[in-house]
Amino acid sequence: MPWPGHGHLRMEDGSVRVGVGVLGFAHGHVGMYCAEWRAQPALGVRVLAGWDHEAARLEKAAAEHGLRACATVEELLAGPDVQAVVIGAETAYHADLVERAAQAGKAIVLQKPIALSLPEADRIVAAVERHGVPFTLAWQMRVDPQNLQMRALVQSGVLGKLFMVRRRHGLNLHLWPNYADLWHVKPELNRDIWADDASHAVDFIHWLLGVP
């Protein structure tokens, strides 16, 4: 079933324009997305509205990025100018937010890890399939220029047959003064920091070589 939102995103000149709402600013990358979209209007992405269960975090993000601050998830999803959402809330909120966004017919970009448990991940998959909305996890490494070139080399066959790939992914957590207090390491909000960032390495290898 084609996504009903697709038709009104494409302009008469063939370009694409999409209005984006942000559901949760817990994940640090979300602020960078907003800044880049505002700095590069030619991309066709207008980030318009935001919601967060923490009022102070919402107020700060709305002021910094010029967003319409929404008091509820329903208010943001009801906006006719919002065709897609970026979900940057803590992992514990993912399944509920995806279900609500999918029901509202919004395209969804979800921060990783996908969920706290397999049953929650199953809820996400079921909601996306039931409502037929575009969905992706936020694998930004798939669009890094050096990674795209690496993948092109692998797929071209110029490197020959690959027998082993080593992927290193490091974080300078020892330099984070408040690391122990972050939501990333609280089991009720997130899997753990390993699942949070090792997911990048696992996805990268699957994307580079294909899923076995």
In percent, how much of the chain has pLDDT > 90?
A: 67
**Domains within the chain, CATH numbers bracketed:** 7-138 (3.40.50.720), 141-209 (no CATH)
Q: For residue 8, what pLDDT band results from cuts at 50, 70 and 90? A: low
CA–CA dist 210, 162 (Å, integer): 12
Question: Is the pLDDT confidence value at 130 over 90?
Answer: yes
CA–CA dist 67, 51 (Å, integer): 10
Task: Give CA 152 to chain center in angstroms.
Answer: 24
Q: What mean pLDDT is reported for the chain?
A: 90
Pick the range with the lowest mean pLDDT from 41-45, 47-51, 87-91: 41-45
Strand partners, 84: 20, 107
Q: What is the mean pLDDT of residues 15-28?
A: 91
Strand partners, 169: none
CA–CA dist 9, 39 (Å, integer): 20
Q: For residue 164, what pLDDT band results from cuts at 50, 70 and 90? A: confident
Q: Collect all residues with Cβ–Cβ distance below 8 Å to 27 and sequence separation of at least 6.
A: 88, 89, 111
* Amino acid, res. 7: G
Please tell me the pTM assigned to this model. 0.88
Strand pairing of 135-137 and 68-69? unpaired
**Secondary element (H or E) of residue 97:** helix 94-103
